[in-house]
């Protein structure tokens, strides 16, 4: 059994400890806002917050997350009132939307640790891939959220 705290709730996963955190969240906890894109740590669709930092949940086993505090997009805010979510709405960032929960989780972790990130810091922290090419609107929204 693997224990951790997910969105403020204690969770025990009775799964193979090598199971990627992504699948525990989606399949056992029904937190399907966290998406599967590539499964190899490249796209960022699976990004969640683990102990205050953005991580790609397809690359972390539940054993490696034992005892951690995990936040998914479902618990980023109570009613979409996190500054990053508000900026995303105002700038109408998403197109298809599939990758956006992962992007928002990456940006939220960045802003939480650095209220006014430089372009280089944004480029380093937000490496998520968006097949719709919403990058210019993402950049505008990050600037708005960081104000
Ligand atoms: Fe995890 Fe693409 S699904 S990085």
Task: Give pLDDT tens digits for 70-83.
Answer: 999 999 998 989 99
How far, in Å, from the CA of 60 to the mean position of ligand 1? 11
In this chain, the answer to whether the domains covering 2-75 and 83-146 adopt an identical fold is: no
Cα gap 10→4, rounded to integer Å: 6
CB-based contact 102:128 (threshold 8 Å) = yes
CB-based contact 61:21 (threshold 8 Å) = yes
CATH fold for the domain made of 83-146: DNA polymerase; domain 1 (1.10.150)
Predicted confidence at residue 14, as pLDDT, reads 97
E strand or H helix at 43: none
How far, in Å, from the CA of 36 to the mean position of ligand 1? 6
E strand map for 1-147: 2-6, 9-13, 47-50, 53-56, 69-71
Q: Give the domain ranges of the chain.
A: 2-75, 83-146
CB-based contact 98:91 (threshold 8 Å) = no
How far, in Å, from the CA of 41 to the mean position of ligand 1? 4
How far, in Å, from the CA of 141 to the mean position of ligand 1? 22
E strand map for 14-116: 47-50, 53-56, 69-71
User: Per-residue pLDDT for 147 more than 90?
Assistant: no
Q: pLDDT tens across 5-64, in order?
A: 999 999 999 999 999 999 999 999 999 999 999 999 999 999 999 999 999 999 999 999
CB-based contact 81:58 (threshold 8 Å) = no
CATH fold for the domain made of 2-75: Ubiquitin-like (UB roll) (3.10.20)
What does pTM read for this prediction? 0.96
Predicted confidence band at 131 (pLDDT cuts at 50, 70, 90)? very high
Atom of ligand 1 nearest to the CA of 58: 1
DSSP bridge partners of 3: 12
Q: pLDDT tens across 87-109, in order?
A: 999 999 999 999 999 999 999 99
Cβ of 83 closer than 6 Å to ligand 1, yes or no, is no
Cβ of 107 closer than 6 Å to ligand 1, yes or no, is no
Whole-complex ipTM: 0.98
């Amino acid at each position: 059994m693997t224990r951790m705290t997910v969105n403020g709730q204690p969770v025990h996963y009775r799964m193979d400890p090598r199971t990627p955190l992504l699948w525990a969240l989606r399949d056992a906890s029904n937190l399907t806002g966290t998406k599967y894109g590539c499964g190899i740590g490249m796209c960022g669709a699976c990004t969640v917050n683990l102990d205050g930092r953005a991580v790609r949940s397809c690359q972390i086993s539940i054993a490696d997350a034992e005892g951690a505090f995990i936040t998914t997009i479902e618990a980023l805010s109570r009613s979409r009132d996190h500054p990053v979510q508000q900026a995303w709405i105002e700038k109408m960032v998403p197109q298809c939307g599939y990758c956006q929960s992962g992007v928002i989780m990456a940006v939220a972790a960045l802003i939480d640790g650095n209220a006014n990130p430089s372009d280089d810091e944004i480029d380093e922290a937000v490496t998520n891939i968006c097949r719709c090419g919403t990058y210019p609107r993402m950049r505008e929204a990050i600037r708005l959220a960081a104000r």
